[in-house]
Amino acid sequence: MGKEIVARIIHYGPNQAALPFVDINCTALSPGLFESELFGYEAGAYTGGAGRGGRGKLDIAQGGTLFLDELAEIPVELQAKLLRVIEERSFYRVGGLAKIATDIRIVAAANIDFEEHISRGLFRKDLYYRLRVGSIVVPPLRKRPDDIVPLARMFLRSFAKKRGKALAEISPEAAAVLLAHAWPGNVRELRNAMEWVSVMHDGAELVPGHLAGFLSGPAARTVVAPARSRTSRPGLADIDAAIAASGGNKTEAAARLGMSIRMLHYRLKNRSAS
């Protein structure tokens, strides 16, 4: 799963479902916009701004969770203000004089070496340790091959349902293509791929041709064996060949053979026992 999915799981715990979950992608905002986006602003704070001012994400997330994605992209000068919010549980809107109390949970995510950023003066040490009450390491998607096809299926079904389409399954051949891709964009790239497929294609099953317009590189050109009939059972020689062709990756081999990873492990275990 990706960083945002983990953050949402943390948020939607007991007694949290009705409370707001608000996210900010820190890379998408310029330093000039970040402060008003986070704290909000009072009327007259900006030329041409809304006459009544505007609420910030801290205000909107009141009682719930604020998810700061790519935390390290917050400008250093604003990191001190965020630290003050955490310590004092209050903030001022841009151009405001009234202190606003806040009661939120902050979940932050980043994909950098914090110690290096701190040593280079790019991130405040006090903010880092103040936020690091607990931490969860989410490995890149390429290191979690068992997650790729289930996540793809979940995204595909969700997007297909929104568009009134029947796409619900992933063929073994398409699964092999998904498993062969490096996914440098991690879960977000996988999610976007399934959304793209749901927009561009119809049918009931995802096949390799559906991915050719989105993925590039060796994975998109992967040649897989024709699908077996549902009544044909791969033999041990087929299993060995699939594992070898997959570079020892049993999850990918199972997808190539059109069987579950659990069944593949069962067949290998039975051979060892015999």
What pLDDT score does 270 carry? 78
In a domain, 222, yes or no: yes
Structural domain span for residue 27: 3-131
Stretches in the chain below the pLDDT threshold 70: 1, 14-17, 45-51, 216-233, 244-247, 272-274
Q: Which of 76, 109, 131 is the last residue of a domain?
A: 131
What pLDDT score does 227 carry? 44
Tell me the CATH number at 253.
Answer: 1.10.8.60
Tell me the CATH number at 113.
Answer: 3.40.50.300
In a domain, 136, yes or no: no
Residue-wise pLDDT for 155-189, tens only, equals: 999 999 999 999 999 998 889 889 988 898 888 89
Q: pTM for this one?
A: 0.62
| 163, 265: one domain | yes
| 160, 78: one domain | no
What pLDDT score does 101 carry? 92
Place of tokens 């030329």: 47
What pLDDT score does 273 carry? 58
What pLDDT score does 231 carry? 44
| 65, 156: one domain | no
Residue-wise pLDDT for 127-149, tens only, equals: 999 998 888 888 888 888 989 99
Q: Measured between alpha carbons, how far is 174 from 13 in angstroms, rounded to an integer?
A: 34
Q: Measured between alpha carbons, how far is 201 from 54 in angstroms, rounded to an integer?
A: 41
What pLDDT score does 49 carry? 55
In a domain, 195, yes or no: yes
| 94, 174: one domain | no
| 127, 150: one domain | no
Tally the domains of the chain.
2
| 261, 158: one domain | yes
